[in-house]
Each structure stands twice: as structure tokens, then as C-alpha cells.
Amino acid sequence: MWHVGGAGIAGSYLYRRMQDSGIESMIYDPRVENFYIPCGFATNKHLIIPYLSKVSVDLGDILETEASSVTVKGNNFQETEFRPSGLCTINKMELEKKILGNGEITRSTIKGNDGNIVDATGISRGYLGKIPGDLSMYAVEKVCRESPFKGFHFNFFKNGNGYFWSFPLKDRYHIGAGGVNLDEVQASLAGYQGERVLSRKIRMKPTMGNIVNGNIIGVGESIGYISPLLGEGIVPALESAEKLFQAISRYDDYESITRYYGQSISGRMKVFNDISIMVSNIQHGKTLNLHNILTARKALSEVKNFGMNPDFYKIFAHFLSAGK
């Protein structure tokens, strides 16, 4: 029996995949229905569609807006507009419900320790527990009726300390900021009136060796499977859940499952880890070494995958020099 703790993106997806394959499983989450967890809702339609099709969800049922323009600015560079590729906003809460389908959530934490437990609890690592050196940033988001930015807008803080965003939804905007300094984050949002103001921390570094603890395995943000440059975690959460599902489908014994899963996520975990170190070096004003420069290419590729076109390279080069 698999007990999935957390009915966010990763947990819901994994549970649905197991249910559809006849693998005995239950899902738990103490969160009340429709409780708003902060998230910009931005993703890339080309990357998310393959996962949606595996759980019979149509993009049209959860799509909020598709980006037609993206503007980016920063401390050291002028606002630049460029053409997006697949960047969109989706209704993440609706997506979680649609993924679950008829599946029922037990509205509590997991009690007892029988069977296998999946920690899909995001930032809280409710089952895997805290680890030394865990790295997170502050994030605050306002749900607004108006925004001065009609398209998708990013404004990077000085020294790579974080960024401000405004993303259009169907009839609202998600305006938020994430960064290492809470005062800077809040100051960037001071002029915006939100119907709701939400905040939580966001994990900014993969937990590398800490993805399994006894009978508990982590997926999604609980193991830092999230792009540390932009804090993009929706598609990575689906990706890690699919990889764990593949491992569970393939092997009967727990040891082989954890080994196969660990191997299948290790390549992307290393990329996330390298980017996280590069960002930290920029933030601390350290001179970037050759490895960091090579990592910048991987970071650029992550950003392109998110839906930004190659013109972003110019801004990225500027961003890299901002800490000097």
C-alpha cells in the first residue's frame, strides 16, 4: 500500500497514475478544499500537455491565458519585450482537482507508518523532515483585479536577489515577488492592492542525498525538484511524480524502486543544484568560475523551456554581470 502525503500537483498526479494502474494507494491532505496556496500559475503548455494527456485532462479546461508578449527588466537593464513560446497561465487548483478525478482525499495527515509513504508535501517536507543546509526564499503574492502590465512581466532585483512578476489570469492578475530579503520583496509589492495576499517560502535548492528516508520517498518541491532560477515548479513536480510512478510500475521491491527513481531524477537534480550554486554566487558577489559560466548555459536552457525565446540571452548576460 502506498500512502501519498500531499494533494498538490505532484501528489495528485502520482496518486491518479497509481489508481489508473490498479496500484493500491491512498492520498492525504489536511488542506481544506479551495484553500488558496500561492503560485503564479505560469507554465509552458508544450511541456505540460504530455503529462495532462496521461491523466486525461484537457489544457483547455484549465487554461487561463496564453502569453502574447513578455517584458523583462532589471536593475541594470532597460525593459525589453520579446516573443514567448508556449508560456501561459493555468488554474493550478482546478488542475489538481481534475487530476484527482473521482479519487478521494483523506483530509488529514498520514497516521501510522505502515506501507510506503510518499512525501509530496512541498516546502514543508512533512514526512521526510528537516535537513541541514536547506535553502529557501521568501515569496509573497497578491491576487489583483488590475495590473499596469497587460502581458507577462518580470523585474529582476539587484544582484540576482529575486524578482517581481505580474502574470495575467482570465479576469485577475497574479502579482508577486520572491527573494532572499523579505523587506525587498514586500517593498516591490507595496503599490499593489490585492483581493488576497498570500505568502509562503519556496525551496531553492535540490535536497540531493535526502530524497529517501526509510519507507518515505519524496517527490516535487519536497526534494527541491524545482528550477531555482525562476522558481518554476509545476512541470518539474509532474516530471518527478511520473518518474516515481515509472519506478513503482517497473519494480516490486522497494530497494529497486528507490534506486531506479534516484537514478532517473539525478541528472536534472544536478542541473538544479548547479544553477542554485550559480545563483548563490551571484547573490554573494562572488566571481563566477568556469563551472558557473557553463551552468549559465543550462540556466538559459531552463528559461527557454519555460517559454522565453532566445533573445533572453542578452538579458541573461546582463543579469549575470549584475552582481559584479
Ligand X SMILES: Cc1cc2nc3c(=O)[nH]c(=O)nc-3n(C[C@H](O)[C@H](O)[C@H](O)COP(=O)(O)OP(=O)(O)OC[C@H]3O[C@@H](n4cnc5c(N)ncnc54)[C@H](O)[C@@H]3O)c2cc1C
Residues that bind ligand X (CB under 6 A): 5-11, 28-31, 37-43, 109, 120-122, 124, 126, 139, 141, 176, 200, 202, 220-222, 226, 231-234, 237
Which residues are within 8 A (CB) of 11 and not within 5 positions of it... i.e. 6 or more apart? Answer: 4, 5, 27, 29, 118, 120, 121, 219, 220, 241
Q: In what order do the strands lie in the sheet with 116-119?
A: 105-106, 25-28, 2-5, 116-119, 216-218, 212-213
Q: Which is nearer to ligand X, 110 or 315 (CB)?
A: 110
Query: Closer to ligand X at the Cβ: 74 or 233?
Result: 233
CB 157 within 8 A of CB 188: yes
Q: Would you tell me the crossing angle of helices 290-306 and 312-321 to the nearest 10 degrees?
A: 140
Give the span between the Cα atoms of 60 and 275, in whole angstroms: 33
Those residues whose C-beta lies under 8 Å from the C-beta of residue 65, and which sit 6 or more positions away, are 88, 89, 168, 169, 170
To ligand X, the closest distance from the beta carbon of 279 in angstroms equals 16
Least CB distance to ligand X at residue 55 (A)? 14
Identify which of residues 103 and 122 has a Cβ nearer to ligand X in the complex. Answer: 122
State the minimum distance, in angstroms, from the CB of residue 278 to ligand X: 19
Measured from the CB atom, the residue of 83 and 200 that comes closer to ligand X is 200
Closer Cβ to ligand X, 226 or 229, answer by number:
226
Q: How far is the CB of 170 from ligand X (least distance, A)?
A: 15
CA quadruple 34, 59, 16, 226: dihedral sign = negative
Looking up cell 519506478 gives 247
Q: How far is the CB of 109 from ligand X (least distance, A)?
A: 4
For the CB of residue 73, give the shortest distance to ligand X in the complex, in Å: 18
Looking at the Cβ atoms of 14 and 322, the one nearer to ligand X is: 14
> What's the rounded Cα separation, in Å, for the pair 43 and 86?
8
